[in-house]
Amino acid sequence: MQDFFFIAFPYIALTLAVCVGLYRYFSHRFTYSSLSSQLLEKRQLFWGSVPWHYGITLILIAHLLPWIFPGAARTVLGNQTRLAVLELTGIALGLYCVFGIAALITRRLPNDSRARAVTSPMDWILLLVLAYQVLSGVGIALFERWGAAWYLSTAVPWLRSLASLRPDAATVTGLPVFIQSHFISGFVVILLFPFTRLVHVFAIPLEYLWRPYQVVIWNRDPQLPQLPVLHQIAASPRPIPLNPSEVQRRQLLTRLGVLVGGISAAIVGIPSLAFLLGLRKVPEVWRSLGAADSFQIGQTVEVSFLDSTPLPWSGVTAKTAAWLRREGPEQFVAFSINCTHLGCPVRWLPNANLFMCPCHGGVFYKDGTVASGPPPKPLATYPVRLRDGMVEILTTPLPITTV
Amino acid sequence: MNVRVQVSMVFHLDKCIGCHTCSLACKNLWTSRPGAEYMWWNNVETKPGTGYPTLYEDQEEYRGGWEVKDGELRLKLNTRAGELLNIAYNPRLPALDDYYEPWTYTYGDLIDGPQQEDQPVFKPVSLVTGKEMEIEAGPNWDDDLGGSGIYAANDPNLSSLSGEQRQQLLNVERVVFFYLPRICNHCVNPSCVAACPAGAIYKRGEDGIVLVSQEKCMGWRMCVSGCPYKKVYYNWETGKSEKCILCYPRLETGQAPACMHSCVGRIRYLGVLLYDADRIHDTAARPDHELVDAQREMILDPFDPEVVRQARADGVAEHVIESARKSPVFRFVKKWKIALPLHPEFRTLPMLFYVPPLLPVTGSMSEEGLYETSSDFFSSLESARLPIRYMANLFSAGDDEQVTKIYRKLMAGRYYKRAQTVGDVDSGKIAQMLAEAQTTAGELEEIYELTSLAGFDERFVIPPFSREAAIELVQITQSRQEGGGMGFVHEPRRGL
């Protein structure tokens, strides 16, 4: 039974939503919108429609983002304060939605209400399902606290497994029935998409933001070379044929242009976005610095090692330097060579027992703490370990310097 | 220069008798359907009056049309992003009560009612809810109530009149009104098109008719707010917006639109105007007092060889140019300059023009109780019963001079014809009036001909559309059959 609700039903709902949705768009375009009743009844609609639409949009985004970026969500929610703020915001938005849908339902209830006159049976079903969905959502937020956090370890893996076509409902089958019902009714909403006014979600006219204000449509295409005007046709013995390949070539070129543009945008855009969202992690690798015996106890020497992901053509630029000191038979410490002020390479002065920065006179003690000058923080250190008589260093990304 | 064609109209208000035949012709043909009962694509308003829907001219409330802000022409309604943010609830939409709740009567009760002492009666029933209702408003609820303090006094066009002038309008002796028939203006810079988020409203390139694509319309209702004339209506039954289509199926078959065809007073004229599409933006962004002249400049002279050459280059068919030369609208608007657009300050460049009414006869009761007309037979501009200022607020963005010039010419025409037919005006006075009006006897004769005598074919000069041929030229039937491509292809449909 659980398999039906959490594996079969979601796929059925999604398949129907996509197939029937497309069918309705292409063959019943006229119906592909939401039947507004604002003309008939306006005052109550304001209190219903505005809270509902703004509230549910934000809540939907909050549900979708952790599903798409679970790593980022985990990082954001790792902090107790942020979790509490998000949780409270969520509850507030949920209550905002409940208020909205309550107003939307009550305005259609009275027997002589004009809005009721344009309410179809499907509208009632949709309103009830949506009302259940937001009420159960608020209930979960109130009685099963920190949903923002446990969502990541229960629903998200399940939803991702559905998306990757390797369905696995193990993380949700053990949840209380109340929570499960919220998931199932969520898919009922998806199922209702193509059969109700909900289709208007996919008709939001973002194109309006950039299209020209005026729309002029010609029977003839003004881009085409001058068409023979009618009296000329009448006068000429044969109609002048229009070259069809002309039209097709232009269409093909337009489509090619869009395709190439789209690919280049993706090549540039996807890595940039991934970087901004913190999705790309630099791998950490242990690099050998040489035999332990080659370092003397108490001596500080400059060592260099390869980055974790050197490119074949980067040569010497793939190397990073560090100051390594052997403090005991098995104790090593490695300092970053970059000053914490603006990143100039610091020098070790053995006579003074100090690191000194040549750029702005920053001075660090032997243990890396700041002695004087502008640096705000002690020198960063790398983890070092001894393995099979070899000294190894972990290529960690260093904290960026202060500016 | 980029020459475009506009099928446009002139309404001669002096001849309108307010019979509403136009409204009914339109209603019977197009809007007697569920959801469209309250739509009056053509309506006739009493002015001064609040219009339909009530106070539609108050753009501080409805924010229709355009405004110039920091030298930029922008929609008065909202920014593009602002419009999208308001998409769930349009705060500037008139409600049904600003029009009226459509109703019918329980006529069946007259036949099926039980036998009783009294005559059976029928009750009003709402066409929206199907329930019994109280009738509180209807179309033309303020019909003929020009002097009414309840309705007419609220007319937004009276706002710039002095208190004394407004008071005069309510005096019984001076009570005055005229009729203002309105259809969609098929503007050159339509704000309904610009406000439509779905891009469903468009202007036809070949004739300038503005239409709503019922397939593309998503019912966001921004066009209703965007149109300052409130000539786009939302069909609450289908969830789509609808508007006057200038009877294009009739025009394409060479017939005049139903409202024009049926006009009893023969006040309506229809013909082609050529205009310069490159000048649309500049014209619409001019300061208020230059708008009327700028729009006249934008309209091109089809007798100018340069214009004709460019029109041919822009693909205007020869017989359309020919039609533009015969256009009565061209003569009223550009040649004689006696027709003005309604509310040019909305900056949509409306293509329906009005010849303002003279409302001449001023009579009063003498002390002996006799009815006397004033000594000046047709009265004078100074003693006009409706202040020039009011007309200027309607037709020239408050510029009195534009209206005065037209009235001088119309007045000169009346005295000139009276001198001809009755002979009680001396020739010196006629010569003086012609000079003041900067007109000639020849021009006045022409105006008289077109105003009073013109027959059907002179009033409605409909260009041949030949749409069937135009479609045949660009839609290659063969390529449809062979290379229709993948996906959902609409088969070309011909005929019925």
Given pLDDT bands bounded at 50, 70 and 90, which one contains residue A232? Answer: very low
* Listed residues A171, A204, A237: the one ending a domain: A204
Of chain B residues 395-454, which have a CB less than 8 A from chain A?
none
- Residue of A101, A214, A232 to mutate for B, most B C-beta atoms under 10 A: A214
Residue A156 counted as domain residue? yes
Over range B454-464, report the average pLDDT. 93
Q: What are phi and psi of B21, to 5 degrees?
A: -65, -40
Q: CB A218 to CB B471 under 8 A?
A: no
If asked whether residues A190 and A339 sit together in one domain, one would say no
CB of B68 within 8 A of CB of B281?
A: no
Side chain identity at B50, as an amino acid letter?
T
Give the separation between CA B155 and CA A6, rounded to whole angstroms.
63
The answer on A291 and A152 residing in a single domain is no
- B241 — phi, psi (to 5°)? -90, 145
Across the range B101-130, mean pLDDT stands at 91
pLDDT tens digit sequence for A150-174: 888 889 999 999 999 989 888 888 8
Q: A199 and A306: one domain?
A: no
On whether residue A44 sits in a domain, the answer given is yes
Candidate from B87, B236, B312 with C-beta closest to A118: B236
The domain in which residue A336 lies consists of: 286-394
What does the alpha-carbon distance between residue A175 and residue A178 come to, in Å, rounded to a whole number? 8
CA–CA separation, A163 and A161 (whole Å): 5
**Nearest residue, CB atoms, B205 vs list A36, A204, A222:** A222
Confidence band (pLDDT; 50, 70, 90) for A101? very high
In a domain, A336, yes or no: yes
Which of A130, A138, A137, A183 has its CA nearest to residue A157? A183
pLDDT, tens only, A34-47: 999 999 999 999 99
Q: What gap in Å lies between CA A335 and CA B247, rounded to an integer?
A: 85
pLDDT digits 0-9 by tens, A368-379: 899 988 888 889
**Has residue A232 been placed in a domain?**
no
List of residues 6+ apart from B490 with CB closer than 8 A: none
Structure tokens at A311: 């490119």
Rounded alpha-carbon distances, angstroms, from residue B165 to A110, B170, B392: 48, 9, 14
CB B179 within 8 A of CB B202: no
The rounded distance, in Å, linking the Cα atoms of B198 and B64 is 18
pLDDT over 90 at B358, yes or no: no
In the predicted structure, residue A229 carries a pLDDT above the cut 60: no
Looking at the complex, does the CB of residue B319 fall below 8 Å from at least one CB of chain A?
yes
Domains of chain B by start residue, with CATH = 265-358+401-459 (3.30.70.20)
Beta strand pairing call for A390-394 and B240-243: unpaired
Same domain, A302 and A177: no
Residue B58 phi/psi, 5-degree rounding, is -80, 95
Judge: A226–B220 Cβ closer than 8 Å, yes or no: no
From A157, A172, A204, the end of a domain falls on A204
Interval B329-342: pLDDT, tens:
999 999 999 999 99
CA distances for B253 relative to A85, B28, B464, angstroms: 67, 19, 8
Q: In A, which residues are within 8 Å of B470 by CB distance?
A: 219-220, 230
Question: Which stretches within B86-140 are classed as H helix?
Answer: 108-112
Count of domains in chain A?
A: 2
User: Residue B269, Cβ neighbours under 10 Å: how many?
Assistant: 29
Q: Flag whether pLDDT at A249 surpasses 50.
A: yes
- The complex's ipTM works out to 0.86
- pLDDT for A227: 46
Q: What is the CATH number of the domain that holds A154?
A: 1.20.950.20
DSSP A293: G
Among A62-66, A310-314, A350-354, B180-184, the least confident range: A310-314
What is the bridge-based pairing of β-strands B352-355 and B3-12? parallel
Return the pLDDT at B176: 82
Q: If DSSP codes are grouped into helix, strand and coil, which group holds residue A150?
A: helix
- What is the DSSP annotation of B378-438? T--STT-SS-HHHHHHHHSTT-HHHHHHHHHHHHHHHHHHHHHHT--S-HHHHHHHHHHTT
Quick check: A233 contacting B, CB < 8 Å? yes
Whether the model clears a pTM of 0.80, i.e. scores above it, the answer is no
Q: Any chain B CB within 8 A of the CB of A116?
A: yes
Closest-approach residue (CA) in chain A for B236 = A37
Give the model confidence (pLDDT) of B292-344 as tens digits.
Answer: 999 999 999 999 999 999 999 988 888 899 999 999 999 999 999 999 999 99
Task: Evaluate whether residue A401 is within a structural domain.
Answer: no
A4 touches B at CB < 8 Å: no
- Region A247-263: what's the mean pLDDT? 85
Give the span between the Cα atoms of A108 and A127, in whole angstroms.
Answer: 10
> What value does the mean pLDDT of chain B take?
88
Same domain, A160 and A298: no
pLDDT in tens, A264-305: 999 988 888 877 776 667 778 888 888 888 888 888 999 888
Judge if A51 and A185 occupy the same domain. Answer: yes
Return the CATH number at A309: 2.102.10.10
| B315 closest CB neighbour out of A37, A208, A227 | A227
Distance CA B108, CA A368 (A): 100
Assigned domain for A24 exists: yes
pLDDT band, very low/low/confident/very high, at A57 (cuts 50, 70, 90): very high
Final residue belonging to a domain, choices A183, A204, A225: A204
Q: How far is A402 from chain B (nearest CA, A)?
A: 39
Q: Is residue A213 part of a domain?
A: no
Residues A188 and A330 occupy one common structural domain: no
Q: Residue B426, Cβ neighbours under 10 Å: how many?
A: 10
Residues 6 or more apart whose CB falls under 8 angstroms from that of A403 comprise A342
Question: Would you place residue B370 in the very low, low, confident or very high pLDDT band (cuts 50, 70, 90)?
Answer: low
Q: How confident is the model at residue B376 (pLDDT cuts 50, 70, 90)?
A: low
Q: What is the pLDDT of residue A12?
A: 95
Do the chains contact at A215 and B199, CB–CB below 8 Å?
A: yes
Q: Would A377 be classed as within a structural domain?
A: yes
Q: Are A341 and A376 in contact (CB under 8 A)?
A: yes
B119/A contact by beta carbon, under 8 A: no
